[in-house]
Amino acid sequence: MSTNILKTDENLHRCTRSGSLSARGPIEATGKDYQWLIWGLGRCDGTVRIMNGHQKSSPRVGHGYDLHRLEPVSPVGVGRPMVLAGCRIDHDRGPVSHSDGDAVLHAVTDAILGALGQPDIGELFPNNDPKFESMSSDVFLTKAVDLMRKNGFEIGNVDITVICQRPKISKYKPAMMRQITTLLGCDGGQVNLKGKTHEEVDAVGEGRAIEVHAVILLLPQES
């Protein structure tokens, strides 16, 4: 496959914005151009690789964080049924959110986007856009994984910490880790998830919120 080196210039920006960019084979972009190329990727049939010197061949670390307020589940309150890592969690409170409020998938999505230097989940999927209302969050993570591959990276490992006072998530852990493994397209040994309480202090400790941290390592794909 031939490689197209596209340089930073306003013309390229205009091309990608107007949708007139087309290219065959991998595209290698310099500087910030890869972001524009990704936005225009739907009109290209090649892959985009980051060309910022060391970024191309070095591992990338990303951190994702999410918090959702928990309210009694509808119709008692305004909370949605609780879903974590795509698994339905039996609890009388659930997240207040525009999408399904899956804090685990939101944190992992943001960790990948952060490692890639991409806009975060709130910028890519605005919470005032009607098309994302009640959206299953696996859509967001799938998009981030797609961007990761198009940028030439694969999962090294991900470590996730879920912090909530109630419910206990231990019995859901195997199913949650299986689901994350499937969505990331990696092996089970690359995914870790642990639960913690908040020692009954602050909003999380009082059961009024849930927090998730995710740290991810992305490795350059072997060519």
Q: How far is the CB of 105 from Zn ion (least distance, A)?
A: 8
Which CB sits closer to Zn ion, 16 or 97?
A: 97
With CB under 5 A as the rule, give the number of residues binding Zn ion.
Answer: 2
Which CB sits closer to Zn ion, 66 or 138?
A: 66
95: its two tokens: 């997240």
Q: How far is the CB of 38 from Zn ion (least distance, A)?
A: 22
Which CB sits closer to Zn ion, 17 or 88?
A: 88
Quick one: which of 106, 160, 184, 191 contacts Zn ion (CB under 5 A)? 106
Q: How far is the CB of 135 from Zn ion (least distance, A)?
A: 11
Stretch that binds Zn ion, among 83-91, 104-112, 143-151, 152-160 (CB under 5 A): 104-112
Contact flag: residue 66 with Zn ion (CB under 5 A):
yes
User: Which residues ranging from 8 to 47 are in contact with Zn ion (CB under 5 A)?
Assistant: none
- Among 156, 209, 208, smallest CA distance to 184 is for 156
> Where do contacts with Zn ion occur on this chain (CB under 5 A)?
66, 106
